[in-house]
């Protein structure tokens, strides 16, 4: 009895960990994609595009 409940707790923790990792990976990919879009739109001047609201709203 005790062994099976410990295994189910471990598997549940693994599922949560996998969910968090996949969410983090998705978030990083999204940030990377938006950063590349800003870089391509502005060229060298990508820092000003991120700091101004006009650069963010233009897609």
Tens of pLDDT, residue by residue, the chain (59 residues)? 455 678 887 888 888 788 888 999 999 999 999 888 887 777 655 455 455 555 555 44
CB–CB of 58/41 below 8 Å? yes
Write out the residue range of the structural domain in which residue 48 sits: 2-57
Q: Vertex 41, ends 35 and 46: CA angle to 5°?
A: 55
Tell me, what's the pLDDT at 31? 93
User: How many domains, the chain?
Assistant: 1
Query: What is the pTM assigned to this prediction?
Result: 0.42
**Confidence at residue 15, expressed as pLDDT on a 0 to 100 scale:** 80
| pLDDT given at position 59 | 45
In the block, which residue shows the tokens 């471990």?
10
Contacts of 42 (CB under 8 A, 6+ apart): 48, 49, 55
């Amino acid at each position: 009895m005790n062994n099976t409940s410990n295994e189910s707790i471990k598997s549940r923790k693994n599922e949560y960990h996998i969910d968090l990792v996949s969410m983090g990976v998705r978030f990083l990919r999204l940030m990377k994609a938006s950063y590349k879009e800003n870089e391509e739109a502005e060229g060298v001047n990508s820092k000003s595009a991120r700091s101004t609201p006009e650069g963010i709203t233009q897609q």
